[in-house]
Structure formats: structure tokens, C-alpha cells
Amino acid sequence: MYTVGQGGWSGFPPHKHDTDRLPDETRHDETYNYRFRPNNGFGFQLFQQVGDKVGKSEHIVDGSTVIIDKGYHPCVVAPGYEMYYFTILGGLSQRSLVQFFQPEHAYQLETIPGIKDMIAKYK
């Protein structure tokens, strides 16, 4: 379970894991289930395919479930609310998750405190 503070982002820098191409990325589908505090909170799950300049978004509320099988997919919670989500990864094999970060934003791996420790938990 992950907790995202008020107005915060998760899954950032944008990442994907929809292609088996070791050592850069492994294919894993992902299911998210969201909860908000207070429960009238909301957020947005973003979806962006490789090569698209503009992606799509889905309005998420308490109890929303989203399945992600391709593309970059950060999410954000509205100011004044906390978001909690439970995620399940399903892969075609037993290998560890390797995320590929969107090149335009990957430099932020060096600027976000604790992000490298979080990524290391998946290996």
C-alpha cells in the first residue's frame, strides 16, 4: 500500500513496464485500488503511450479500480485529500519488476528524495 500526501504525485517520474526487454524493462500488468481520506476525495490516473505528446486521464474516487497494461502511468491526488492505493503486479514470469522511466523526466530520479530506495524494493 502506498500513501500519497495532499496534492501529491505517485508513480513519478512517469514509468512503464509493458515490454520484456531486459535489462531495461520487464512486462508486468498492474491493478490499482484507490482509497481517499476523507473518502469524498479524488484524484487522476494518467495514461500516456510511448510517442504520444498528450495522454489521457481517468477521474478516480474512493474505491476506484484501474487496470494498467501499457504506457506511462503516474497519478495525482487533489489538494486537501490523502490518497492510499493498493497495487498488484502480474507478470508473465517470476522475474522482478524493472521500470522504464520516461526519458524526458528520468533526470528527476536524482532530485526526488527517497525515490531510489523505493525503486530498489522491487528488485
- Given pLDDT bands bounded at 50, 70 and 90, which one contains residue 1? low
Instruction: Round to whole Å and give the CA distance between 15 and 98.
Output: 10
The 3-class secondary structure across 14-34, one letter per residue, is CEECCCCECCCECCEEEEEEE
Enter the pTM of the model: 0.91
Instruction: Write the CB contacts of 6 (distance below 8 Å, at least 6 apart in sequence).
Output: 77, 79, 80, 81, 82
> How confident is the model at residue 91, as a pLDDT?
84
Domain ranges of the chain: 2-120
48-86 pLDDT tens trace: 999 888 999 999 999 999 999 999 999 999 999 999 999
Residue 34 CB neighbours (<10 A): 23
Distance CA 105, CA 48 (A): 13
- The set of residues, in sequence order, having a beta carbon less than 8 Å from that of 91 and lying 6+ positions away, is 26, 27, 28, 29, 97
CATH superfamily of 2-120: Jelly Rolls (2.60.120.10)
